[in-house]
Structure 1
Amino acid sequence: MKFPRLVPRLFSLAALKSGLFWRTFLLLGVLTTLSMSAWVGMISVVQREPQVQQISSQVISVVTITHAALTHSAPELRRELLFELVSNEGIRIFTLEDDDEVEPPPDNALMPDIEALVKAKLGKDTRFSSSVNGMPGFWVSFKIGEDGYWLMLERERIRGLTGIQWLGWAGVVSLLSLLGAALISSLINRPLARLTAATRQLAEGRRPEPLPEKGPAEIAQANRSFNQMVRDLAQVESDRAVILAGISHDLRTPLARMGLEVEMANLSNEAREGIQSDIGQMDAIIGQFLDYAKPTEASSFINVDLGALLSETAHEVSRLHDVRITTDIAEHAQVLGNATDLKRVLNNLIENARRYGRTAETDYTEIDIKCTVKGMHSFKRVVVEVQDHGPGVPEGEIAQLLKPFTRLDAARGQANGAGLGLAIVDRVLQRHGAELQVRNRDGGGLLFQITMKALG
């Protein structure tokens, strides 16, 4: 993998993995920053004394040699010597005048120690300057007899790494360290992100591709266990399909035979209708069990017009004499799902409202159905609300409504069936990635609210 392509890929992965990736990256970044700070501080302390000694020795040597050369050279040769010092060594000698415009010496952390060492060797009257008569440089004074002179060295000869240079190098190293931290974080997080994606696919009803059973022992073992779990779940689903087929055949066939025998038996009309009602209720209970246990495959999802499906369901129910339905349904409420299962969800919610939403004052049930589309672009959602005007449910018992085999008789009146209607609703919506909220309606009654991701 080429390095220029690696960096964008790392940060694209980081955008998707805002949890563990950024925690790992932050910890490594903080560790790197603290290490760099400690390193820079240690180098500064350790290097300070040797650097002061080196610069001081250099200044003392240059001044001493120049002083000796000028002192012991013949007067007629001094001009030539000064020219040679300028040409070959970059050293300039000027006469020290009382009216010279002198700037203070360079302002850095090393200068006080350098001054102390140089004055200890050359004399306490040694002066330092960063500019004399507008000419920048490193200036040091010395005397030959009663005459004073300035010796100017180029700043580059005595300059070590400045604070900005240290900061620049520290920044480069820190940047490389952070890129390394991003790479390490990505390598650590990649197997976990892969496992998370596979788990999400499994939760949505899809069978993920087998995870690679290699790498560090812990990751390999986790992937191996996950793959085994997926195979076991697939086997369970297969066995359940066989059991469901057996239930449908082994129970409904005798029920159909019993119904035929009842029709042919010499029974009173009241007894025949009672037995037929019991057989019909048993068949409905078996149907509820099958609906609850039947898996919803994500591969069967298609573009479904939920608004049209809701209008159709409401129209069918409105034919019943004991129901009054009010609708407010938005157009183009498109979602991704299984049309048959979503139709079952809507039927169950409306049937639940029809059965348990009636008040003592009326002989019919009022049901309000609303469908709206909210948000924009990727945040677009379809919201469906089904509400009745009945007695509602005590707040502490609302959470029990969606559990299998739950029938709140005291709160919702008579109850028929196995208590799986709302559990089927919750199970199907979970597999569709939808959110179901149940709460009491203002003014009385129960409100079911479904929120699904919209298409388009």
Structure 2
Amino acid sequence: MISAHRSRSLFRSIASTIASALLIFQLILIAATLNYVMLPMAKRSADDLAALLVLSAQTWVELPPETRKDFELELANKHQFMLFEDAAILPPRKGFYPYLALLDNALTSRTGEPVSIKVTHIDTTWFWAEIHTGGKLIRIGFPKDRLNMDPPSMLLLALVATVAFTLLTALVLARRVTKPLTHFYAAAQRIGEGSIPESFPETGISELSGLASTFNKLALQVRELLANRTTMLAGISHDLRTPLARMRLAIELLPESTDPKLVARLQHDVEEMNQLIGQFLVLSRELHKEPAQQVDVSLLLGELADNARNEGADVKFRTRDNAVLSAGPMALRRILNNLLSNAVHYGANKPVEIDLSLKDNLAVIRILDRGNGIPAQELENVFHPFYRVESSRSNSTGGSGLGLAIARQLADANGWKIELLPRPLGGTEAKLSIPRD
């Protein structure tokens, strides 16, 4: 059996796989868009702007001095350009501006000499190009708003939208696949607890519809199998108990001269057969979850411990207050009585301890003995019907091999957990865990 902490849920596995695939696809798509669409458009835009800047500088130089002011006003109104001659030296550009790097290359290509756009920050951000033309150094600039673009924000928005959309899509797809399987898992658990789940609708996706149809047929077959088995065993019980009654009568009618030891042995064998039939019927019939009631576990354990002491056992248990649980009283009593009887019977006449611990969401009852113990490889096998560890539970010690099987089935039917654990210095720990509502 794989432990829960080592296994991954199907929902998480599907969601992570779909999310990873979609994220990789979106990243490849973004990279392709940047390289084959946005970059060529940005280069073309930078080349057009470079041509306009160079043409404006050349035209200003070629114009008569008296008309240059009018040309400067026209550049400012139509193109948001500002033009100066022999202005003060500006410091080198700092920061990362991908578009300005493209504009540098375009200006350098058109002027034939290195040009690097400078940046100033006064009231607003301005970009400046220094162009040598007609023997003059012309500085022509434009505001950042003229570009009307913000690549970092655009990339961030695209990335955030991609991640959010990808995760949402992955969650929706994973939920659509795993939700029906979760219902199947819960229904299978109910079957394991002895309950029959409601039929699943046989609609929707063809594969899931087929699985629902198969599961419904399987649940019906299990129900019929359990009912037929119970009916058959009830008939067998009736047929067996009739000759047993005759055997009891025959024993009672034996002559008085019959050996008393023989009579006692025959009576013991008949009673043992009767008890075995009863235990087998309990194990075989369909077990339903018993309606829960408020049970004082400490009081119940104290009563079972007193009963064991009255039969000569050495049982140690200290009662405690506020130990009330919501549980099926008959199932709880039967399980605890079985575990305690086993501990006393196979405890090598040594003291048996009962421990009760209550946590926020769990009540744990531990019954500890110092007997020969059970080999680690047999700890699960002893819960199988009619299974006995020969070294410690041979026929000479009594027992049918049904007690722990019935206890496990009752625990499963009520949603409890029962375990047998080896103790470090020898002996066995029987542990019953009950969720607290």
TM-score range, shorter chain: 0.7 to 0.9
- Any idea what the Cα deviations from partners look like across 1:331-371, whole Å, max 9, x if unmatched? 4434444322332223333333444434xxxxxx3442413
Is 1:87 aligned with 2:67?
no
Q: Are the aligned partners of 2:339 and 2:367 in contact in 1 as well (CA < 8 Å)?
A: no
When residues 58 and 326 of structure 1 are mapped into structure 2, their CA distance, relative to the original with a 3 A threshold, is closer
Match of 2:272 in 1: 281
- Measured after TM superposition, the shift of residue 178 of structure 1 is 1.6
The normalised TM-score by structure 2 is: 0.85
Contact persistence 2:46–2:106 (CA under 8 A): no
Whether the 8 Å CA contact 1:353–1:367 is kept in 2: the answer is no
1:384 CA displacement: 2.8
Residue 348 of structure 1 aligns with which residue?
338
Q: Structure 2 vs 1, CA of residues 246 and 59 (structure 1 numbering), >3 Å: closer, same or farther?
A: same
| TM-score normalised by structure 1 residue count | 0.82
Which residue of structure 2 lines up, in the alignment, with residue 151 of structure 1? 140
The secondary structure found in structure 1 opposite 2:420 is strand
Q: What RMSD, in angstroms, separates the aligned Cα atoms of the two structures?
A: 3.1
Distance in 1 of aligned mates of 2:233 and 2:114: 107
Within 1, Cα distance between the matches of 2:234 and 2:172?
A: 52
**In the superposition, relative to structure 1, how do residues 304 and 204 fare at CA in structure 2: closer, same or farther (>3 Å)?**
farther
Mapping 1:42-121, distance limit 5 Å? 42-46=32-36, 47-65=38-56, 67-68=58-59, 71-72=62-63, 75-97=65-87, 100-105=88-93, 107-121=96-110
* Offset from partner CA, 1:258-291 (integer Å, 9 cap, x none): 3134223434261433322221121122122122
User: Cα distance, 1:233 vs. partner?
Assistant: 1.2
Where does residue 315 of structure 1 map in the other structure? 306
Map Cα deviations across residues 149-207 of structure 1 (whole Å, 9 max, x no partner): 32222223346542342122222232122212211111121111121122222223322
The residue that corresponds to 1:362 in the other structure is none
Check 1:265–1:412 CA distance in 2 against 1; reply closer, same or farther (3 A cut).
closer
2:372 equivalent to 1:372: no
Aligned equivalents of 1:249, 1:397: Cα separation in 2:
35
Q: Secondary structure at the match of 2:352?
A: strand
Contact 1:305–1:334 (Cα < 8 Å) also in 2: yes
Inter-CA distance 78–454: structure 2 relative to 1 (3 Å threshold):
closer
Q: Which residue of 1 aligns with 2:255?
A: 266
Are the counterparts in 1 of residues 84 and 138 from structure 2 also a CA contact under 8 Å? yes
Amino acid paired to 1:38: I
Structure 1 range deviating more: 393-402 or 421-430: 393-402
How far apart are residue 64 of structure 1 and its match? 0.9
Partner SS, residue 400 of structure 2: coil
Q: Which amino acid is the alignment partner of residue 455 of structure 1?
A: R
Q: Give secondary structure in 1 for the equivalent of 2:12.
A: helix
* Deviating more after overlay: 283-292 vs 270-279: 270-279
Deviation at residue 216 of structure 1 after TM alignment? 2.0
Q: CA deviation at 1:372?
A: 1.1
Paired residues of 2:124 and 2:143 also in contact (CA < 8 A): no
Aligned partners of 2:57 and 2:133 also within 8 Å: no
* Alignment partner of 1:183 is 2:172: yes
**Amino acid corresponding to residue 434 of structure 1 in structure 2:** W
Secondary structure, counterpart of 1:300 in structure 2: coil
Q: Per-residue deviation at 1:84?
A: 2.9
Distance 1:67 1:408, change over 3 A: closer
* Superposition pairs of residues 365-404 of structure 1, within 5 angstroms: 365-376=349-360, 378=361, 380-387=362-369, 389-393=370-374, 397-404=378-385
Instruction: Give the residue type in structure 2 aligned to 1:165.
Output: M
Question: Are the structure 2 counterparts of residues 135 and 199 from structure 1 closer, same or farther at C-alpha, using a change threshold of 3 Å?
Answer: closer
Tell me what 1:244 maps to: 233
Q: What CA distance in whole angstroms lies between the structure 2 residues aligned with 1:385 and 1:127?
A: 85
- Structure 2 residue matching 1:323: 3-state secondary structure: coil
Match of 2:283 among 267, 284, 292: 292
Distance 1:242 1:336, change over 3 A: farther
Query: Partners in 2 of 1:451 and 1:132 — Cα distance?
Result: 74
> Once the two structures are superposed, what CA deviation does each residue of 1:61-100 show, in whole Å capped at 9, x if it has no partner?
243146336634x544432332232233312222223xx0
Mapping of 1:7-22 within 5 angstroms?
19-22=9-12
1:252 Cα deviation after fit: 1.9
Counterparts of 2:376 and 2:104, CA distance in 1: 84
1:225 aligns with 214
Kindly tell me: are residues 233 and 115 of structure 1, through their superposed partners in 2, closer, same or farther at Cα, counting changes over 3 Å? same
Counterpart for residue 162 of structure 2: 173
- Corresponding residue of 2:406: 424
Closer, same or farther: CA 53–103 of 1 in aligned 2, 3 Å: farther
Other-structure match for 1:14: none
Q: Distance in 2 between matches of 1:417 and 1:383?
A: 23
- Evaluate the alpha carbon distance shift between residue 226 and residue 336 of structure 1 in structure 2; reply closer, same or farther with a 3 A threshold: farther
1:203 and 2:187 correspond: no
Structure 1 residues 290, 369: closer, same or farther in 2, change over 3 A? farther
SS, match of residue 113 in structure 2: coil
Q: Does 2:198 correspond to 1:214?
A: no
How far 1:385 moved relative to its partner? 0.9
* d(CA) in 2 for partners of 1:241, 1:132: 90
CA distance in 2 between partners of 1:132 and 1:372 (Å): 75
- CA distance in 2 between counterparts of 1:333 and 1:293 reads 32
Deviations 1:300-346 (A, max 9, x none): 343433332222222223222x4333323444434444322332223
Q: Is the 8 A contact 1:372 1:383 kept in 2?
A: yes
2:371–2:428 contact (8 Å) kept in structure 1: no
